[in-house]
Amino acid sequence: MIKRIIDSSELSKFKNAVERVSRIVITCHKKADGDAIGSSLALCLILRKLSKNAIVIIPDQLADSLTFVTKGIDYVTFSRNEVMAGNIIRNTQLIMSLDYNCFDRVDRMKSCIEQSRVPKVLIDHHLNPDNVFDVTISHPEISSTSELVYRLATEAGWLNCIDKQVASCIFVGIMTDTGNLAFSSSYPEVYHVMSKLMEYGIDKPYLYKMAMDTVPLNSLLLQSYALLNKMKIVDDKYALITLDKSDLEKYDYKTGDTERLVNKPLSVKNVFWSTFMREDPNCIKVSMRSEGTLAVDKLCARYFNGGGHKHAAAGEFYGTMQEAVDLYYKIVEQVNNEEHNKNEN
Ligand SMILES: [Mn+2]
């Protein structure tokens, strides 16, 4: 039995908001990951079963590696058709925000959404959601937004709207956000949810292969190059990988090609903090992963205008790669001091 977690007043506000409208726009964060696209499409399909005119609008181009999730499901990419997407947002009656906690995360779609006067619903598992939503279903303790959509459908009495396609989208979202149930974010109930999803006859080996174990050749080569030539292990405990513009060009980098690269150094014995810096067109993109007590969301918030989860976070740095690396070593010093103090106490 899966425990009910959604606050009953938020749940009834959510159901009322849905019942009152026919046109619904579902949005997720830029550079959608498996959870963002999986949860958004799953909820969209559920709402369509409820005879709603629902559509997913993602801020920017979906990574090639995730297009398998969208097979047979229509959605709109804002950056590819701003006029049409803008019109849909202007004409919708309800906007849902999935897998992000503030409108800064939707890129150029932000102003469109902010200008809209229709009710806004948040369904998310990131800490500290902005206080701008009419309905806030925020559960940082839940593994993924996809799991939250499953629970929401269950608690709203919409279980009959879940079919194999919906279950597959949710399954992919949970799988990608929990490292296939390996991370600390997968507590016992996630397994219950996964087993329920399997009852819909999903093709688990296929979804695993596509979501967790398929990369384009250039991505494999870029990541191999990064590990071989651009990774530094600091004090046997921390790892830093940097890729600058010329590295990315050499390997014909496309969005998604460095997916999960930041996790790889953690497989080295004793390494419990991994940082990856990538020179994007307008900033240095910073990703961090950790194990144990080190909270990288705090580091990303404090130093890199970012955030995320305790063990998986990201941010941005405005300056040169060298300046970002210099800042990294200052943070290392500070983390070292904190580790030292902890050991003394
Ligand atoms: Mn997520």
Residue closest to 121 by CA, chosen among 134, 110, 131, 111: 134
CB 156 within 8 A of CB 15: yes
CATH code for residues 217-344: 3.10.310.30
Ligand 1 mean position, distance from CA 235 (Å)? 31
98 Cα: distance to centroid of ligand 1 (angstroms) = 9
- Given this model, what pLDDT does residue 287 score? 98
Q: What is the pLDDT of residue 345?
A: 66
Q: What residues contact 232, with CB distance under 8 A and at least 6 apart?
A: 239, 240, 241
pLDDT at residue 255, rounded to an integer:
84
Residue 36 CA to ligand 1 centre (angstroms): 6
User: To which CATH superfamily is domain 8-212 assigned?
Assistant: inorganic pyrophosphatase (n-terminal core) (3.90.1640.10)
Instruction: Compute the distance from residue 55 Cα to the ligand 1 centre, in Å.
Output: 19
- What is residue 97's three-state secondary structure? strand
Task: Determine the Cα–Cα distance for residues 19 and 21; give it in Å rounded to an integer.
Answer: 6
The DSSP element (H or E) to which 120 belongs, if any, is strand 120-124
Q: What is the DSSP string of 6-71?
A: S-HHHHHHHHHHHHT-SEEEEEE-SS--HHHHHHHHHHHHHHHHTT-EEEEEESSPPPGGGGGGGT
Please provide the DSSP assignment of 178-245 as one string. Answer: TTTTTSTT--HHHHHHHHHHHTTT--HHHHHHHHHS---HHHHHHHHHHHHHSEEEETTTEEEEEE-H
Residue 95: other Cβ atoms inside 10 A:
21
Beta strands in 125-195 (DSSP E): 135-138
Give CA separation, 228 vs 166, 231, 286, in Å. 40, 7, 19
Structure tokens at 289: 């992963």
Q: Phi and psi (nearest 5°) for 273? A: -140, 120
Protein residues with C-beta less than 5 angstroms from the ion ligand 1: 35, 99, 144-145, 177
DSSP assignment of 281-333: SSSEEEEEEE-TT--HHHHHHHHHS-EE-SSEEEEEE-S-HHHHHHHHHHHHH
125 CA from centroid of ligand 1 (Å): 7
341: CA distance to ligand 1 center in Å? 33
Q: Do domains 8-212 and 217-344 have the same CATH topology?
A: no
How is residue 277 annotated by DSSP?
A: E
Could you give the CA distance from residue 194 to residue 203 in angstroms, rounded to a whole number? Answer: 12
Residue 167 CA to ligand 1 center (angstroms) comes to 16
Per-residue tokens: 164: 């194999």
What pLDDT does 33 receive?
95
Q: Are 271 and 238 in contact (CB under 8 A)?
A: yes
Task: Give Cα 304 to chain centroid, integer Å.
Answer: 18
Q: What's the CA-to-centroid distance between 144 and ligand 1, angstroms?
A: 5
List the one residue out of 295, 66, 336, 315 whose CA is nearest residue 184.
295
Which residue is it, tokens 């080996």? 205
Please give the chain's pLDDT, 345 residues, in tens. Answer: 799 999 999 999 999 999 999 999 999 999 999 999 999 999 999 999 999 999 999 999 999 899 999 999 999 999 999 999 999 999 999 999 999 999 999 999 999 999 999 999 999 999 899 999 999 999 999 999 999 999 999 999 999 999 999 999 999 999 999 999 988 888 999 999 999 999 999 999 999 999 999 989 999 999 999 999 999 999 999 999 999 999 999 999 988 899 899 999 999 999 999 999 999 999 999 999 999 999 999 999 999 999 988 999 999 999 999 999 999 999 999 999 988 887 776
How many Å lie between the centroid of ligand 1 and the Cα of residue 105?
A: 13
Whether the CA torsion 140, 141, 146, 150 is positive or negative: it is negative
Ligand 1 center to 145 CA (angstroms):
5
pLDDT number for residue 265 = 98
Write down the domain spans for the chain. Answer: 8-212, 217-344
Q: Whole-model pTM? A: 0.86
pLDDT at res. 137 = 98
| Rounded distance from Cα 153 to ligand 1 centre (Å) | 17
Q: What is the pLDDT of residue 338?
A: 87
